[in-house]
Amino acid sequence: MHVAPHFKQPLLKTPFHERSRAFSQQDSFIAWAGYTTVDVFSSVEQEYFAIRNATTVYDLTPMVKYRIAGAGATAYLNRLVTRDVSKLKPLRVAYCLWCDDAGHLIDDGTIFRLGESEYRLCTGERQLDWLLDSAIGFDVKITEVTAEIAALSVQGPTSCAALKDFGMTGIETLKPFEIRHFVVDGKCIMGSRTGFTGDLGYELWMPLDHAEPVWDGLMAAGRARGIRPIGSKALNVARIEAGFIMPNVDFVSAERTIHTGRARSPLELGLGWLVDFKKGHFTGRRALVAEERRGARRRLVGLDIEGNKPAHNSLLYADRGATREVGSVTSAVWSPTCKRNLALAMLDAPHFDVGASVWAEIYLNRELRWERRVARAHVVERPFYAPERRRATPAGDY
């Protein structure tokens, strides 16, 4: 029998695909890590406001998942990522970065410590080659388990209440970045208080055959809490408000850049707090030590831009006359909750300190007539939006 090579085969369907399709008004699907997923169900605005005011469900299954286990797993991860994984306790999650030898970011992701010597690494893109080469000399086994685990992100102020109603008893006591196993209707679900929205929220991890019953049960239980599925476009608005970066948007993986000088270090991305120079050696450490000593040449910052026109792809200048270029915008959005015109931008030294201001060149398409604006942009603290409820434990019952 002739089997088409993988690159000719259709995108995979997640175990939530049939349910997503039933909800999809726009029938708008996009590719993500080999799967087809929804980018918008009905309208980005409705879905976005559900994140900030009710409960949303986002199909996280395509997130690439690796099982990392063995006596050397902790040592392995500590050499891989820039944070000190030995401080991560079992049933806790940490957001981590990993770099190449030059200290340039390869990717970011979350590490779930499932047991004493068992971890799960979740990341947006496939990394097996790098992970296996990093395993040389370590007693560790790395297996991709993406296709074995269904995952749902349940986010929003009423998410805790909705999950409680669904049967995840006691979830309100789950602390941020904590993991707990729940049994609902005889089904084992792993819950973690994690997410990409900067709001109160959880991620649910389960075997594939639990996917549809869990979806159905959750939708029924969450009706009173305004539950609805969302696509990646609405999530993108929330993540910019939360100040989170996206691969291939705010940085390009060092393993994939072609032009010299396009790879970015964690220090340049403003993620220096995730780099632990004291924990011992990790890949890229020597380069990062040298970079820190040298001082940053550029940095990813948050911008608050005057006016209400999102500064998509804008070039940034030191002067109003837009003659001295000092950077560019990587992500931009009008924030409906903050009522601010926000952006993430890469700025050259010395313009990247909080309090500095630059000028953004914004192009507007007004009924096919292009207009150009130069708006003042202020470097501000990230995250732009960080409600107390995202951390409060026990979580609020809204």
Residue 134 within binding range of another protein, rule CB under 8 A: yes
284 is a contact residue toward another protein (CB under 8 A): yes
Least distance from C-beta 177 to another protein, angstroms? 26
Name the residue among 106, 91, 257 with its Cα closest to residue 181.
Answer: 91
Site membership for another protein, residue 288 (CB under 8 A):
no
Q: How far is the CB of 260 from another protein (least distance, A)?
A: 11
| Among 136-144, 245-253, 268-276, 370-378, the segment contacting another protein (CB under 8 A) | 136-144
Residues sharing a CB contact under 8 Å with residue 320, sequence separation 6 or more, in sequence order: 359, 374, 376
User: Closest Cα to residue 264, out of 247, 282, 289, 241?
Assistant: 247
Nearer to another protein, 10 or 261 (CB): 261
Count, residues near another protein per rule CB under 8 A: 17
Using CA atoms, how far apart are residues 58 and 155, in angstroms rounded to an integer? Answer: 8
Only one of the segments 134-142, 171-179, 334-342, 382-390 lies at the binding site for another protein (rule: CB under 8 A); that segment is 134-142
Are 384 and 243 in contact by the 8 Å Cβ rule? The answer is yes
Which of 32, 138, 182, 202 is in the footprint of another protein by CB under 8 A? Answer: 138
* The one among 24, 30, 36, 100 contacting another protein by CB under 8 A: 100
Restricted to residues 315-374, the positions that interact with another protein (CB under 8 A) are none
Question: Please, which of residues 77-96 interact with another protein by CB under 8 A?
Answer: 79-80
Nearest to 199 by CA among 155, 163, 231: 155
For residue 229, give both structure tokens.
């599925």
In this structure, the dihedral spanned by the alpha carbons of residues 144, 106, 206 and 224, taken in order and rounded to 10 degrees, is -160
* Among 270, 245, 264, 306, CA closest to 381: 270
- To another protein, the closest distance from the beta carbon of 23 in angstroms equals 42
Token pair of 256 as six digits = 């994939």
What is the C-alpha to C-alpha distance for residues 83 and 374, in angstroms, rounded to an integer?
40
Q: Draw the binding track, 151-170, toward another protein (x: CB under 8 A; -: no contact).
A: --------------------
User: 80 vs 162, which CB is nearer to another protein?
Assistant: 80
Residue with tokens 């393993």: 255
Rounded Cα distance between 203 and 182, Å, is 12
| Binding flag, residue 283, another protein (CB under 8 A) | yes
* Contact region with another protein (CB under 8 A), list: 152-160, 178-186, 217-225, 275-283: 275-283
Does residue 112 bind another protein (CB under 8 A)?
Answer: no
Burial class (CB in 10 A: 0-12, 13-18, 19+), 157: buried
**Which CB atom, from 101 or from 216, has the smaller least distance to another protein?**
101
Site for another protein in 187-226 (CB under 8 A): none
Q: Is 271 exposed, middle or buried (0-12, 13-18, 19+ CB in 10 A)?
A: buried
Neighbours of 52 (CB within 10 A): 21
- Please select the residue that binds another protein; options are 285, 298, 309, 351, rule is CB under 8 A: 285
The minimum distance between CB 119 and another protein, in angstroms, equals 17
For another protein, give the closer residue by CB, 90 or 137: 137
d(C-alpha 2, C-alpha 66), whole Å? 30
Catalog residues that contact another protein under the rule CB under 8 A.
75, 79-80, 100-101, 130, 133-134, 136-138, 280-281, 283-286
